Amino acid sequence: MLGAKSARASIVVTSTAMCAALYAIGSYLTAYIPSPWGAGQFRPAVVIPAFFAIVFGSTPAGVGAALGTLIADSVKHGYIYPGSFLAAVPGNFIGFYLFGYIVRTFNWRRFIIASNLTLTLANFIVAALYVGVFKILYVGDPKYVSFSSPALLTFILGLTVWWFVTMLPFVLLVTPILVKATSQAVPSLVPDDVRQHSLSNELPQTLFSYSLLAPGIIMLGMWLITGYTPFNTQLTTFFGETTSNLVQWMFLLSGAFLSATGAFLRIRRSVNRDQTSRIEGNTP
């Protein structure tokens, strides 16, 4: 019994350290692509703690994500960054711990629900703590202190939406590939209930298609806002023309890809359902 507990503890510690290290590296590599709101970065590396949540559970994912984001932000700034400690650490821990808790009894529908729910919650927590605790209470930034409550709420929601729509597609599209590849390469590493669920046969296509279509439409809307409204001037002034154009192209290409993919899956689902209905109707 002690041997089993010791082995389990070793797995938790090792997987937590791996999650933290990989997430820190992945986050740091994209830490210089900013959001159009002046805070927060593009972070597709969220696929790493999502993968660890499915394969190793809540604790490695939550603690690994919290440590990884702190390491990445601190290396970027050159010191232990208080904004990360006060906002990103708790948000990442809560989000990915909850992700692991939801998928502890695994199926692909739970995975999609966990992705949407936890990314929304975690990103809102990070945005709210970053603005309310770090910028206003800790730093006392005059720009944020002078904002009205509606303006602060708009900023928090805008930052939440940015993170959500840029993270969700990576989690939905890349994480299943990583899980199934690991299941084939090192089957003993992946829990039995995860390996037994077929991605091709069990993935709920309607829910999956809408989970891609919705952020795709939002990103196309943000492309229009950042490119063809007065906000474009503010964006260019704040970041410069090169970064501003990069953000706009990212919105356009990502939004078009996700919208097209989501629409294609939805149409294919409808066509397959109609064909099945006709076949069943012709069966004597």
Q: What is the pLDDT of residues 148-163, one digit of tens each?
A: 787 788 778 878 888 8
Instruction: Please report, rounded to a whole number, the percentage of residues in the chain having pLDDT higher than 70.
Output: 86
pLDDT: which is higher, 198 or 124? 124
Alpha helices in the chain (DSSP H): 2-29, 47-55, 58-77, 82-83, 89-102, 108-129, 142-145, 149-185, 192-195, 199-202, 205-228, 231-239, 241-282
Report the alpha-carbon distance of residue 40 to residue 162 in Å, rounded.
9
Q: What is the pLDDT of residue 36?
A: 66
DSSP character for 63? H
pTM of the model: 0.81
pLDDT: which is higher, 190 or 16? 16
If you count them, how many residues does the chain have?
Answer: 284
Question: Rounded mean pLDDT of 30-55?
Answer: 83
Q: What is the pLDDT of residues 218-272, one digit of tens each?
A: 888 888 887 888 777 766 765 667 767 777 887 788 788 888 888 887 787 666 6
**At what angle are helices 149-185 and 47-55 packed, to 10 degrees?**
50
